[in-house]
Chain A
Amino acid sequence: MRLLIVEDDAALARGLLKAFRGDGLAVDHVSNGQDALDVVKMEPYSAIILDLGLPDLDGLAVLKRMRTMQVTAPILILTARDGTNDRVNGLDNGADDYLSKPFAVEELEARVRALIRRGQGSHDPIVVLGSLRLDRATGAAYLGDDVLELTRRERSVLETLMSKVGTVVPKSRLSADVFDYDDAVSPNALEVYIGRLRRKLERSGLEIRTVRGLGYLLRQI
């Protein structure tokens, strides 16, 4: 897997190279737009990190040119501006993700990993959160080395919550995932499943929190 970093700030580029090479990726670095356009023609990258503030060409123009050159690699744009217009412009012009400076290295790594996965079209069926592992292909769930017994609906709720870790999932969304149109759902049916899941996740280091009026959130304690 090969990553291209287009960044004119040498010091930042050095840091990023160190971080991604530490993650075991092959990383190329160019410091201006023209070099970036030249190099993407030769090498099939898995993902591209593109700084919008380049010395020679406008970052958005580089982005557009790459897309017209049929570069299909996912592109994450970095910018020192956080204006919503910039974000919208970037995404409109073919960027896949957006991060404004300064950022946490971990977050950049996580997003690049996600982009690479998406670019390869392969969804890793195993989702991991702390000691919890869920195999979406087989439906099996594990807490550490132990098998976690789940009913179909409990697994459904857990899978939805795990796909949105750290964010509040609205009740309506969970209900839609769990219940069919045919199910006669009582208002607190969902709470029943949440309650059961909570008991099963006791002492797992995970908890399902209620945000009254909004929904549920799965988090690591």
Chain B
Amino acid sequence: MRADRPGFSIKRRLLWTLLVPLCVILFALGLSGAWLVQRNVENSSDRVLSGSLQAIGETLAMQEGYITLDLPPSALGMLENVDRDNVYYSVIYRGKVITGYPELTTDQSANSLESIRFRDGLFHGVPIRIAMEAKLVPQLDSPIIVQVAETTKNRRAVANRIMVTLMASEVFLLLVIAGLVFFSVDWGLKPLAALRRTVESRIAQPELDFAPLPLKDVPQEVLPFVSAFNTLLKHVEQTFDTLRRFTSDASHQLRAPLAVVRTHVELLERRAEGSPEVRTSLSDISQAVRALQRLIVQLISLAKAERPSERHTVEVFDLVECAAAASRACAARAFDSGMEISFESDQNRLMVYGSPILAGEMMANLLDNCIRYGREGGHIIIRLPDGLGRLEIEDDGPGIPPGQRERVFERFYRLPQNSDREGSGLGLSIVQALGKRLGASVSLETPSNGVGTRAVIQFQRV
């Protein structure tokens, strides 16, 4: 059976609902951050540029009819930086370059006095930032225009550095949140994992446990679910109880009339009267009654094996003694069917966990199968091959085809080759159910010589 496709995991849901809006927010933050960074870097760089410009402008003077300019090294030095931006300047009077780089064009249109203006420009194709001041010098009718410019490498680099740091922080934040989601979901679901373990340990138990799940430590969000589950458990237990009583009652109800039929049929057979047809009928009836009896007995023991009404507490018992008793009990029947039976054990005692009564019932069913379906004149071997709690029951009959080894454990399934033999088809189902209750595993294999069937029960050693 294929499991239904599970829904989105809680982690995935949380990640989607958390990370998508978070990404949008971080993107917006990034955009506004970029704008702020750009503006701040521009402002502070412009301030340095204007400082440099003012330092040059301060030295402008008229001396003996000449315009003099003292270019202090500090004025341009303050523009020095790690990115080695180029610095340009020019001093212009009446549209004529007095000193500096003539390529540094002026913006004549905006020519206001005593205020520093900034603009972007190009110098030999390289983007530059230009600061310009129109300065009035005494004795001159027209203002002198001083310009200082620098390439924009440094300011771009500073802005980039800040942007990269911002981006890295955002990515880091995203990763931390994703990690926190994983961690917190795991942590938050821990009580659920504990519940799961409780339920799983019950599945592993041979006897069904309908006790309600503990509500202690269950998170409030899950409480209604667990409570509902407990209610369901209670319902199942009640249904189970009803079924249990039904099986017990049905056993009684079926056995009593069967005892009547059997008694009277046997009495009639004993009187040796009637025509041959009557005698054949009687023999058929008697055979059918015995088959019916066996079916009922097997059904009841299967029902009992699958339910925990009679609590056989797990005890320690001697597997050798138990197997020997089961073998002794079936020896006469094996001989009646013309078979040999032998018992092989290296040990005199082998203590295992389980219940000797249930283990004996398992062996009796397996031995019954050997006698029923084995070869006439065949050999049944009960073997305890090592000290590991392994019991083998082996015949040299027709064997079970490997493809059928799972199916023979199904209720009422019988091999096609055995359809003409009497049998209920429940023996191996009973063996398996009993094994589950004892914590013993049952498997079928082919003996090493390739003939027959070997049933293996692995008990838990003490």
Known: A9-B256, A84-B310, A105-B263. 16 other contacts (CB 8 A): A11-B264, A16-B263, A80-B251, A81-B252, A101-B259, A102-B261, A105-B266, A209-B335, A211-B327, A212-B341, A213-B343, A213-B345, A214-B327, A214-B342, A214-B343, A219-B335
Residue among A16, A81, A102 with the highest chain B CB neighbour number at 10 A:
A102
Enumerate chain A interface residues (CB-CB to B < 8 A). 9, 11-12, 15-16, 18-19, 22, 53, 80-85, 100-106, 166-168, 209, 211-215, 217, 219
What CA separation (Å) do A195 and B270 show in the bound complex? 38
Main secondary structure of the interface of A (DSSP, over half): mixed
What CA separation (Å) do A219 and B334 show in the bound complex? 12
| B262 / chain A contacts, CB cutoff of 8 Å | 102-105
Instruction: Say yes or no: A15 contacts B331, CB within 8 Å.
Output: no
B211 contacts A by Cβ under 8 Å: no
Nearest Cβ on chain A to B445's Cβ, whole angstroms: 21
Instruction: Say yes or no: B260 contacts A9, CB within 8 Å.
Output: yes
Q: Across the two chains, which residue of chain A brings its CB closest to B336? A: A219
B79 contacts A by Cβ under 8 Å: no
Nearest Cβ on chain B to A7's Cβ, whole angstroms: 10
Instruction: Say yes or no: B342 contacts A12, CB within 8 Å.
Output: no
Instruction: Say yes or no: A211 contacts B256, CB within 8 Å.
Output: no
What CA separation (Å) do A104 and B289 show in the bound complex? 11
| A168 / chain B contacts, CB cutoff of 8 Å | 327-328, 331-332
Binary per-residue interface labels of chain B (229-259) against chain A in the complex, 1 for a CB within 8 Å, 0 otherwise:
0000000000000000000100111011011
What CA separation (Å) do A15 and B255 show in the bound complex? 15
4 nearest A-B pairs in the assembled complex, by CB-CB distance: A213-B343, A212-B342, A15-B263, A80-B255
B15 contacts A by Cβ under 8 Å: no
B324 contacts A by Cβ under 8 Å: yes
**In the complex, which residues 45-59 of chain B have their Cβ closer than 8 Å to any Cβ of chain A?**
none
B38 contacts A by Cβ under 8 Å: no
Main secondary structure of the interface of B (DSSP, over half): helix
| B342 / chain A contacts, CB cutoff of 8 Å | 211-214
Instruction: Say yes or no: A15 contacts B256, CB within 8 Å.
Output: no
Residue among B252, B253, B259 with the highest chain A CB neighbour number at 10 A:
B259
Nearest Cβ on chain B to A78's Cβ, whole angstroms: 8
Enumerate chain B interface residues (CB-CB to A < 8 A). 248, 251-253, 255-256, 258-264, 266-267, 270, 289, 293, 297, 300, 304, 310, 324, 327-329, 331-332, 335-336, 340-345, 357, 382
| A9 / chain B contacts, CB cutoff of 8 Å | 256, 259-260
Q: Across the two chains, which residue of chain B brings its CB closest to A216? A: B331
Q: Which of B248, B263, B289, B331 contacts A217 (CB 8 A)?
A: B331
Given A53-B252, A82-B297, A105-B267: A217 touches B259 (CB 8 Å cut-off) = no
Given A12-B256, A219-B335: A106 touches B310 (CB 8 Å cut-off) = no
What are 26 A-B contacts with C-beta separation under 8 Å? A15-B267, A18-B267, A22-B270, A53-B256, A80-B259, A81-B251, A82-B251, A83-B304, A83-B310, A100-B255, A101-B259, A102-B258, A102-B293, A105-B263, A106-B266, A167-B329, A168-B328, A211-B327, A211-B341, A211-B342, A213-B382, A214-B327, A217-B332, A217-B335, A219-B332, A219-B335
What CA separation (Å) do A144 and B342 show in the bound complex? 32
| B289 / chain A contacts, CB cutoff of 8 Å | 102
Given A102-B255, A211-B343, A213-B345: A12 touches B263 (CB 8 Å cut-off) = yes
Instruction: Say yes or no: A82 contacts B310, CB within 8 Å.
Output: no
| B255 / chain A contacts, CB cutoff of 8 Å | 80, 100-102
Nearest Cβ on chain B to A46's Cβ, whole angstroms: 21
Nearest Cβ on chain B to A220's Cβ, whole angstroms: 10
| A103 / chain B contacts, CB cutoff of 8 Å | 259, 262
Q: Across the two chains, which residue of chain A brings its CB closest to B332? A: A166
Q: Across the two chains, which residue of chain A brings its CB closest to B304? A: A83
Instruction: Say yes or no: A15 contacts B324, CB within 8 Å.
Output: no
Q: Across the two chains, which residue of chain A brings its CB closest to B330? A: A168
What CA separation (Å) do A82 and B300 show in the bound complex? 9
| B329 / chain A contacts, CB cutoff of 8 Å | 167
| A83 / chain B contacts, CB cutoff of 8 Å | 304, 310
Q: Across the two chains, which residue of chain B brings its CB closest to A207? A: B335
Instruction: Say yes or no: B344 contacts A101, CB within 8 Å.
Output: no
Nearest Cβ on chain B to A82's Cβ, whole angstroms: 7
| A19 / chain B contacts, CB cutoff of 8 Å | 263, 267
| A53 / chain B contacts, CB cutoff of 8 Å | 252, 256
| A219 / chain B contacts, CB cutoff of 8 Å | 332, 335-336
Instruction: Say yes or no: B256 contacts A214, CB within 8 Å.
Output: no
| B335 / chain A contacts, CB cutoff of 8 Å | 209, 217, 219
What CA separation (Å) do A20 and B304 show in the bound complex? 34
| B260 / chain A contacts, CB cutoff of 8 Å | 9, 11-12, 15
